[in-house]
Homo-oligomer: A and B are copies of this chain.
Amino acid sequence: MSKTASKRPDPGIAGSPGEPGLARRFAATRALSEALVAPLSEADACLQSMEDASPAKWHLAHTTWFWETFLLRDRRAGYRLFDDRYPYLFNSYYEAEGARHARCARGLLSRPSLVEILEWRAVVDRAMEDMLDDPALSLLIELGIAHEQQHIELLLTDIKHALFQNPLGPQMWESAPGPCAGGACAGGAEMGWHAHPGGVARIGHDGEGFAFDNEGPAHRVLLEPFTLADGLITNAEWDQFIADGGYRTASLWLADGWAWVNENAITAPLYWRGAERFTHTGWRERDPNAPVTHISQFEADAFAGWAGARLPTEFEWEAIARGQDAEGTPAAHDANAGNQLDRATPPDPRGGGDLFGDVWQFTSSAYLPYPRFRVAEGAVGEYNGKFMSGQSVLKGASCASVRGHSRASYRNFFYPHQRWQFTGLRLAKDL
């Protein structure tokens, strides 16, 4: 591309939970979206490498459509759309909002240009200014911010997948020193466990602060005694699985997973090549002590069985994350420690103290509605509910998640074969 690799933006600018004002978090989120696109050329920003992924420019536009549609158009008298043709182009999947451009053809939208999209963003941002302090809109604005934060993560994972297709192995950012230095790195540390005696656990969002509709209603779930690892599975451990023939042993796999392995000739996590892995800073040597990432639920499940363990349920994970009745004392229930994407030096996969962190963690739970879940009226009701079929729940957060975006009740979801997100694995066992 015409740009040289630049420094990665500080994810902190998206606003941490400690920053109160909606207006400030709105601005920070909007700015982060744009900062991430800064190193991309016009062509980079238009790439779509598979139907699951979208171009970076499209993410910038779609998030803007969300604000323009559900806030400006719906809640502000007299607002005129920036361009009448944009809703057709940038609606993602909201049937209630009418016909839209085919998902698989988003990469063919060389126009509107990146500059035009940025102009649109500026216009929408200015128009939003007056609305950000309206208490009647605060929930919708929280949703808009959370929505854009989700697309920030998708933008990062989608562009990584797109650049990976290029034999030149382009880098989006220069390599940056990671937060983890010196002897603090716990590679090789022994795995600890958080035991839980079982019993009734309180699950789901309890009403304080913003949460997506799929995190509620809060309810009780009966758990059997179990224990949850305090660390994530590492690259070194995954290498052992491979060396032991994990990808060639049918008995380790779910039937659908075994078919997927064979049809796609899967032999390693996505982005692995020899001793390297592809990152936003290009091809890098893998750190054996870093958490394994870019694995599918099928792979996670096979590994867990090979290791004599299993995936946790989403309820088990949440119970430990909340510190309910558990022997261990996990502190965090509100956030990932920070967005630490593709660090040259990995974080400590064992030192945790909390369950969030570097990778989304596949659970064994299907993504289904909680008891008494109701889909909201109107287009916004399509946000989560209609995807409750065939997908699985992931808990935690990843290095690509915006700081403060996740929480103990957060339910991410993907199909069992998908692995272009920063997905990893934390083991559980029966007690």
User: From residue A91, how far is it (CB to closest CB) to chain B in Å?
Assistant: 12
**Chain A positions 33 through 72: 1 when the CB is less than 8 Å from some CB of chain B, otherwise 0:** 0000000011111110100000001000000000000000
**Chain A positions 195 through 207: 1 when the CB is less than 8 Å from some CB of chain B, otherwise 0:** 0000010000000
Given contacts A43-B46, A46-B110, A113-B1, contact A167 B254 (CB under 8 A): no
**Chain A positions 134 through 152: 1 when the CB is less than 8 Å from some CB of chain B, otherwise 0:** 0000000000000000000
The answer to whether B88 and A41 have CB atoms under 8 Å apart is no
The answer to whether A111 and B162 have CB atoms under 8 Å apart is no
Residue from the list B2, B85, B108, B170 in contact with A115, Cβ < 8 A: B2
Residue from the list B110, B256, B257, B371 in contact with A1, Cβ < 8 A: B110
A283 on the B face (CB < 8 A) = no
Q: Which of A101-139 contact B (CB under 8 A)?
A: 101, 105, 107-116
> With the chains together, A46 CA to B55 CA distance in Å?
13
The answer to whether A162 and B108 have CB atoms under 8 Å apart is yes
The answer to whether A111 and B45 have CB atoms under 8 Å apart is no
The residue of chain B having its C-beta at the shortest distance from the C-beta of A165 within the complex is B108
A410 on the B face (CB < 8 A) = no
The residue of chain B having its C-beta at the shortest distance from the C-beta of A310 within the complex is B369
> With the chains together, A105 CA to B283 CA distance in Å?
20
Which segment, of A338-346, A385-393, A419-427, faces chain B? A385-393
> With the chains together, A137 CA to B365 CA distance in Å?
35
The answer to whether A390 and B114 have CB atoms under 8 Å apart is no
Q: Which of A351-374 contact B (CB under 8 A)?
A: 364-366, 368-369, 371-372
Given contacts A44-B110, A45-B43, A162-B110, contact A387 B2 (CB under 8 A): no
The residue of chain B having its C-beta at the shortest distance from the C-beta of A367 within the complex is B366
A250 on the B face (CB < 8 A) = yes
